[in-house]
Amino acid sequence: MEDKTQYHKIISRRFSKNKIKLQTDFVAVESPLEISLSLPDGTFEVVNILMRTPGDDKKLCYGFLLTEGVLGINEIKNSKCIISENKINLELNSNIMPDISNLKRNFIANSSCGICGKSTIDEILKKIPCHKSIESNISANLIQKICDSMKDDQKLFLKTGGVHAIGLFTKTSEIICIEEDVGRHNAFDKAIGNVYFDEKISGQVIGACLSGRASYEMVQKAAMAGINIMISIGAPTSLAIDLAVACSITLVGFVSGKGYNIYSCEQRILSTIN
């Protein structure tokens, strides 16, 4: 069902063929979400303010706290979630005391800045939890199919042209979920928040498909969630490649009808040609 809280209908002026005409336009909504924690010691902490597309705030909050290493899946499940307009608060149980020191340094993150201040790969690797090993090979000819399937189902992008998308997929190329947001980091957190709290579904996920470029923050989120394959329609950054190598993540970029580039852990991409 279409969520009209995620876009606004406006009137703009279109210049074309040396004329200016009024037209109806649809723009993606961008508004702040304050994420806070009520701690067992009675204190209240605002851990971040994200500029996001509304509509999936609980997914976004859960995915953000998980991929930032603030809380584990069971800790989030056992917390009470209270949602109000542009605010979301988790009331933590008495035995949960998260480490939010890193988040305090990055109090405000806008839709494009991502995760700042984490200067070394070694620092990131210390945060990544151990995950159960799952078979995560995929046929080489399914990469393009995954990207095409995701493009066809980016409803908010087709409406506004102003959002990023993340799709989580299985080894048979089935896309389990697609999430969209003005921030690519938010879209990834929404996808993780959508499926990683259901063991039956999360156990089938082997990879993520990105509608844009692959930055190191996106590779970090994949590593935190135990995702082994990342497909990017755009380019990867140098640090994204370095981190993918360090985390044993297969990183694919520049996917098009003509092919794609594999930057790390190519053994997971199964081909009949050596």
pLDDT of residue 213: 93
Q: Which of 90, 119, 148 is the last residue of a domain?
A: 119
- Structure confidence at residue 106 (pLDDT): 46
pLDDT level of residue 129 (50, 70, 90 thresholds) = confident
Query: Residues with catalytic annotation?
Result: 113
Which of 33, 166, 179, 55 is CA-nearest to residue 109?
Answer: 33
In a domain, 158, yes or no: yes
Structural domain count, the chain: 2
Q: Is residue 107 part of a domain?
A: yes
The pLDDT of residue 103 is: 60
CATH number of the domain within which 168 lies: 3.40.140.10
pLDDT, one tens digit per residue, over 69-118 is 889 888 998 899 999 989 999 999 878 878 776 565 444 343 444 444 34
- The answer to whether position 128 is within a domain reads no
In the chain, the percentage of residues whose pLDDT exceeds 90 is: 66
CATH number assigned to the domain comprising residue 60 = 3.10.20.10
Q: Does any domain span residue 20?
A: no
Confirm whether 18 is domain-assigned: no
Q: Is the pLDDT confidence value at 4 over 50?
A: yes
- Indicate whether 249 belongs to any domain: yes
Distance between CA 12 and CA 261 in Å, rounded?
39
Following DSSP, what letter does each residue of 74-85 receive, concatenated?
HHHHTSEEEEET
Angle at Cα 99 formed by Cα 125 and Cα 111, nearest 5°?
70
- Please tell me whether residues 144 and 112 are part of one structural domain: no
For residues 143 and 225, membership in a common domain is answered with yes
> Which of these three, 92, 119, 146, is where a domain ends?
119
Say yes or no: 102 and 174 in one domain: no
For residues 191 and 221, membership in a common domain is answered with yes
pLDDT tens-digit series, residues 57-67:
999 999 999 99
Instruction: Indicate whether 178 belongs to any domain.
Output: yes
What is the per-residue DSSP string for 121-184? Answer: HHHHHHHPPP-------EEGGGHHHHHHHHHHT-HHHHHHS--EEEEEE-TT--EEEEEEESSH
Name the residue range of residue 266's domain.
138-270
Q: What is the pLDDT of residue 104?
A: 53
In the three-class reduction of DSSP (H, G, I as helix; E, B as strand; rest coil), residue 246 is classed as helix
* Contact in structure between 49 and 108 (CB atoms under 8 Å): yes
Beta-carbon contacts of residue 266 (< 8 Å; ≥ 6 apart): 250
Contact 48, 103 (CB under 8 A): yes
Q: Are residues 114 and 159 in the same domain?
A: no
Residue 188's pLDDT is 97
Closest of 49, 47, 7, 46 to residue 32, by C-alpha: 49
Same-domain check for residues 146 and 196:
yes
- The reply to whether 132 falls in a domain is no
Q: Do 168 and 229 reside in the same domain of the chain? A: yes
Mean pLDDT of 169-190: 95
Domain final position from 119, 146, 165: 119
Task: Indicate the pLDDT class of residue 133, thresholds 50, 70 and 90.
Answer: low
Does residue 183 sit in the same domain as residue 143?
yes
Split at pLDDT 50, 70, 90, the class of 189 is very high
Q: What Cα–Cα distance (Å) separates residue 46 from each residue in 24, 102, 104?
A: 38, 13, 9
Mark whether 190 and 223 lie in a shared domain.
Answer: yes
pLDDT single digits (tens) 244-256: 999 999 999 999 9
Q: Is residue 111 a contact partner of residue 33, using CB atoms and an 8 Å limit? A: no
8 A C-beta contact, residue 180 and residue 187? yes
Judged by average pLDDT, the poorest of 1-10, 42-51, 158-167 is 1-10
**Both 165 and 244 in a single domain?**
yes
Q: Is residue 228 scored above 70 in pLDDT?
A: yes
Please give the Cα distance from 240 to 234 (Å, whole number). 12
